[in-house]
Amino acid sequence: MFSYVARRLFQLCITLMLVSIVVFLLGRLSGDPLSLILPPEATEQDFAAAREQLGLDQPLWKQYSIFAARALRGDLGDSITARRPVFPLVMERLPSSLALAGATILLTLLFAVPLGVISAVRKGSYIDFGARLVALLGQSVPSFWLGLILLQFFAVQWRLLPFGDSNGIGYYVLPSITLAAFIAAGIMRLVRSSMLDAMDSDYVKFARSKGVPEWKVIWLHALRNALLPVMTLAGLYLGILVTGAVVIEEVFIWPGMGRLAYQSVVTRDYPVVQGVVLVTAAVVLAANFIVDLLYGYADPRIRAQ
If you compute the radius of gyration of the chain from its CA atoms, what whole number of angstroms results? Answer: 24
Q: Are 108 and 177 a contacting pair, CB within 8 Å? A: no
108 or 274: CB nearest other proteins: 274
Residue 109 interacts with other proteins (CB under 8 A)?
A: no
102 or 213: CB nearest other proteins: 102
41 or 202: CB nearest other proteins: 202
User: Residues 15, 58, 201, 225: which binds other proteins (CB under 8 A)?
Assistant: 15
User: Residues 104, 143, 166, 176: which binds other proteins (CB under 8 A)?
Assistant: 143
Q: Are 119 and 192 a contacting pair, CB within 8 Å? A: yes
Residue 268 interacts with other proteins (CB under 8 A)?
A: yes
162 or 212: CB nearest other proteins: 162
224 or 268: CB nearest other proteins: 268
Is 162 exposed, middle or buried, given 0-12, 13-18 or 19+ CB atoms closer than 10 A?
middle
Residue 161 interacts with other proteins (CB under 8 A)?
A: no
125 or 140: CB nearest other proteins: 140
The span from the first CA to the last CA of the chain, in angstroms, equals 11
User: Residues 131, 223, 276, 296: which binds other proteins (CB under 8 A)?
Assistant: 276
DSSP assignment, residue 152? I
Is 116 exposed, middle or buried, given 0-12, 13-18 or 19+ CB atoms closer than 10 A?
buried
Which regions of 126-208 does DSSP assign to beta strands (E)? none
User: Residues 1, 6, 9, 30: which binds other proteins (CB under 8 A)?
Assistant: 30
Interatomic CA distance for residues 261 and 243, integer angstroms:
12
Identify the CA nearest to 67 among candidates 17, 31, 2, 128. Answer: 17
41-62 as b/e: b if 16+ CB within 10 A: eeeeeeeeeebeebebeeeeee
Q: How far is the CB of 135 from other proteins (least distance, A)?
A: 10
Residue 14 interacts with other proteins (CB under 8 A)?
A: yes
Q: Which stretch binds other proteins (CB under 8 A): 46-54, 61-69, 82-90, 263-271?
A: 263-271
Residue 112 interacts with other proteins (CB under 8 A)?
A: no
Residue 205 interacts with other proteins (CB under 8 A)?
A: no
Interatomic CA distance for residues 100 and 122, integer angstroms:
33
Q: Report the run of H or E that residue 155 belongs to, with start and end.
A: none
Total residues at interface with other proteins (CB under 8 A):
56
Residue 68 interacts with other proteins (CB under 8 A)?
A: no
Binding site residues, other proteins, CB under 8 A: 11, 14-15, 18-19, 22-23, 26, 29-30, 136-137, 139-145, 148-149, 152, 156-157, 182, 190, 193-194, 200, 229, 233, 235-236, 239, 242-247, 250, 258, 261-262, 265, 268, 270, 273-274, 276-277, 280-281, 284-285, 288
